[in-house]
Amino acid sequence: MKNLKRQWKFIVVLIAGAVGLISQFALHSKSLFSIGNLQFPVHAIIIDIIGILMAISLLLEIFHDWKTGRYGVDILAVIAVVSTILIGDVSAEWMILVMMTGGETLEDYATGQANKELRALLDKTPRIANKLVDGKITEVKVDDLQVGDTVLIKPGQQVPVDGQIVKGTSSFDQSSLTGESVPVTKNPGDELMSGSVNGDVAVEMKVTKAAKDSEYQSIVALVKSSQAQPAKFVKMADRYAIPFTVISLIIGGVAWAVSGDATRFAEVMVVASPCPLLIAAPVALVSGMSSMSAHHIIVKSGPTLEKLARAKTFAFDKTGTLTENQLIVDQVVTDDKSFDQKELQSLAASVEQQSSHVIASSLVKATDKDLIHPVTNLKETTAQGVEGDVDGKHVKVGKLSFVAPGHEKLNVTSTAVYVSVDGKFAGYITLKDKMRPESPKTIERLRRQGAEDIMMLTGDHKQVAEKVAKEAGITDVRSELLPSQKIQAIKDVPKHLRPVVITGDGVNDAPSLTAADVGIAMGAKGATAASESADAVIMVNDISKVNDAVAISKHTMKVANIDVLTAIGVVIIIELIAFTGVIPAFWGAILQEVVDMITISLGLLAKTKPSDKQFGLEEK
């Protein structure tokens, strides 16, 4: 709506200029009326009315800004318009109005160009689904699908909501969700994420999540959230607003005093119009947010970029962030010479193969399929373990107190499952978090990008946390923390080591993400409390995207600063030239429009690739 209002202002100014020009020639510059020696030509009256209305509109905006504590540079635009009205330079007045409204329209265009990736994501949102009812296909709105409904997904179609395949096998392109370019084959029983695209074979899917809770729709919701919180880059513009305004008024005032001609003051004020200063930073920020989106990072607001660019402390959760939230077998320790390590793992995995517990599934996944044998007389004891018969042996797997009472003094600090065979303790299997392969490199690159402190905040045991931290290259380890203690750890970071950025993925991370200066959520596996609380969300399962976020932010802020300072420098140079009287007000206004174009072009450079140094790929 705001963009439409700006466009209409621009159109009205153009129409007013055209009508005024026609009336000037049609009426041969005749005055509509006169007061004493003052003449009021038709075209001048039309332009003056538009100019007064625009000035009033700007004054209202300035008044609103002042009430909120902002002191911008719009006052210079009002002075420029009023000055040209008072000296009767209609051409210059109209050109200033074109410059003001045209600059806003150009800014909207630049914002639109920078937002193309975000719009493309919104345009691809699934809207219609093929629901199967008694074997017949019925087209329904995606929002009307209910959990348990059966949906037919034809070749080339998007998966409308999250679900599970019940019939058919096909490959699915998940690149828009995970960033993986290679299609993934899905079979009956496999989960499908909304937004993925079906390959060559039609499949039937049972809906497991409503549209509002599904993967792709959660991403779209995050994008809409980022659009609802536009880049409010008022800090940089306001930082220069007062000195720029004062300098411009001094140059204009001295020019008037030296020349004795008020026209000279108006000529300086025309070129002092602040459009370039107001446009520079927002265009750069929106471009930076767009670049983030192209790298599968959703940033919810502009100030997040500024904080990321200045960040000095980075904190990470352990499980699901530095690690893959998947356990792998670390050690197999036997206590009975009757069994070797391979056989002990084989027996344990065979008994655990039907359990849904994360430790059981991890053990089974880490065991060769040829070593997993059928199990009979399976029995599970809640929160204790499982037991069953494998190859004629009765095997128990689980807690030590369940498997082998009397061995409680055995001290194992890692995550472990214990095994007994035919009532005799046989040994134990330890498991550890699987480190993300990119985690150590991410930490190393963050240091190259300027991080002064990197710490791990986790609720896990000290020994486990320190082992993971050492592998990742982190020396500052805070373990066995409750969510409230994580928040306190963030608050305790001294001022000279701020801003603080924390990255996490779980529900228990949400309070920490909110407490930090910048919270980054690993949101690749769906909408969580973490992603809702975060300032930025990484939409692919890749922690190195934190490096990308920092690099893009640094590049964006560098472009924004250069753009603002360039705009100020160029405008002041033109003001000094106008001081001499060699630039008429009309041509001063045209020069301002040229500066606007240069400013927007520079701002769009934020979409270009950051340097290797900003990515942390070069040694300091």
Which residues form the catalytic set? Answer: 317
- Phi and psi dihedrals of 611, rounded to 5? -75, 160
The crossing angle, in degrees rounded to 10, of helices 234-259 and 545-579 is 10
**Cα–Cα distance for residue pair 546/443, rounded to 1 Å:** 10
Enter the tokens of residue 95.
């050109």
Backbone CA torsion sign across 526, 527, 533, 538:
positive
Question: How far, in Å, CA of 199 to CA of 168, rounded?
Answer: 12
Tokens 């937004």 sit at which residue? 195
Q: Alpha-carbon distance 606 to 562, whole Å?
A: 11
* Euclidean distance between CA atoms 424 and 406, whole angstroms: 11
The pair phi, psi for residue 450, each rounded to 5°, is 110, 5
Tally the residues of the chain.
620
> In the structure, how many helices (H) and strands (E) does the chain have?
22, 24
Residues forming a β-bridge with 327:
433
**Nearest alpha carbon to residue 613 among 561, 555, 560:** 555
Record the tokens describing residue 179, joined without a space. Answer: 């960033």
On the CB side of 73, how many CA atoms lie within 13 Å of its CA? 28
Distance of CA 350 to the CA centre of its chain: 44
Alpha-carbon dihedral 606, 607, 608, 613, rounded to 10 degrees: 60
Instruction: Report the relative pairing of strands 518-522 and 536-538 from DSSP bridges.
Output: parallel
What is the per-residue DSSP string for 95-162?
HHHHHHHHHHHHHHHHHHHHTHHHHHHHHT---EEEEEETTEEEEEEGGG--TT-EEEE-TTPBP-S-
User: Is the Cα dihedral 213, 214, 217, 222 positive or negative?
Assistant: positive
Q: What's the CA gap between 386 and 376, in Å, rounded?
A: 12
Q: Where are the alpha helices (DSSP H) in 230-332?
A: 234-259, 262-271, 275-294, 302-310
